[in-house]
């Protein structure tokens, strides 16, 4: 396990995610139009997830890191889709506004409102509100496949979903030599998601990730990323 490489790539992702917040607000949030505010909000949440994930990994808090990684997977998929498929933005915004409007209601009342507003069955109400902005009948897996995250989907189902449902515990992640064999896979998948996120942010804003004259994405992160993936890919 290349601990120096892991430390460096976590530090790279953390520094970009930490410093992007001010840039996102000051340069872009009020200057790209109301529609893009919704995309930038998802991206901001994603960068915050990356920042906290990196801290969790440094503390070897693997269960917490897994939960953050699962959250990040959905955030980055939504960001990528909204940037690449602008025709879906109005539907996403509509669903987002409706979710906000009913969030304080009881679950059954939420289901009833969703069903009445969108014509979905009550049993499909929440999945429809979360993913129906892409197409009716979509769920999280279909959304991730739609975003082109095929390899990440397989890995997520093999590890992250099992952690959420407690079929993988923190103790079962410790290897025979008291190492953490899942650490490399966590960092590889996080790096893939981070790469997708930064590409989507660049495509939306044209930001080059240059901080104080230093290209932290292509000049630092991408070089570490190449080294990381010159090793074996994570197994699902």
For 157-215, the DSSP string reads: IIIIHHHHTTSS-TGGGS-TTS--THHHHHHHHHHHHHHHHHHHHHHHH----EETTEE
Strand partners, 215: 210
Residue 136's pLDDT band, with cuts at 50, 70 and 90, is confident
Q: Give the whole-angstrom CA distance, residue 93 versus residue 96.
A: 5
- pLDDT at residue 171, as a whole number: 44
3-state SS class at 106: coil
Q: Across residues 116-127, what is the average pLDDT?
A: 80
| Reported pTM | 0.88
- pLDDT at residue 231, as a whole number: 63
- pLDDT of 205 over the 70 cut: yes
Residue 100, φ and ψ in degrees, nearest 5: -65, -40
Residue 236's pLDDT band, with cuts at 50, 70 and 90, is very low
Residue 131, φ and ψ in degrees, nearest 5: -130, -10
Site of tokens 């959420």: 164
- pLDDT of 181 over the 80 cut: no
């Amino acid at each position: 396990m290349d601990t120096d490489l892991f430390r460096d790539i976590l530090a790279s992702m953390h520094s970009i995610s930490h410093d992007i917040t001010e840039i996102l607000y000051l340069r872009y949030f009020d200057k790209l139009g109301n529609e893009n505010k919704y995309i930038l909000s998802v991206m901001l949440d994603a960068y915050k997830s990356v920042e906290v994930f990196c801290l969790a990994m440094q503390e070897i808090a693997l269960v917490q890191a897994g939960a953050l990684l699962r959250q990040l997977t959905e955030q980055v998929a939504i960001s990528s889709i909204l940037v690449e498929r602008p025709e879906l933005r109005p539907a996403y915004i509509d669903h987002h506004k409706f979710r906000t409007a009913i969030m304080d209601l009881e679950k059954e009342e939420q289901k009833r409102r969703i069903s009445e507003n969108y014509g979905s069955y009550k049993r499909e109400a929440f999945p429809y509100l979360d993913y129906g902005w892409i197409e009716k009948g979509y769920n999280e897996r279909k959304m991730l496949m739609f975003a082109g995250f095929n390899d990440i989907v397989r890995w997520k189902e093999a590890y992250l979903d099992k952690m959420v449902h407690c079929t993988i515990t923190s103790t079962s992640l410790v290897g025979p030599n008291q190492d953490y064999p899942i650490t490399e896979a966590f960092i590889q998948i996080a790096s893939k998601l981070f790469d997708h996120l930064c590409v989507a942010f660049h495509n939306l804003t044209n930001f080059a990730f240059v901080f104080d004259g230093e290209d932290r994405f292509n000049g630092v992160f991408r070089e570490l990323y190449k080294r990381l993936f010159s090793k074996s890919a994570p197994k699902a």
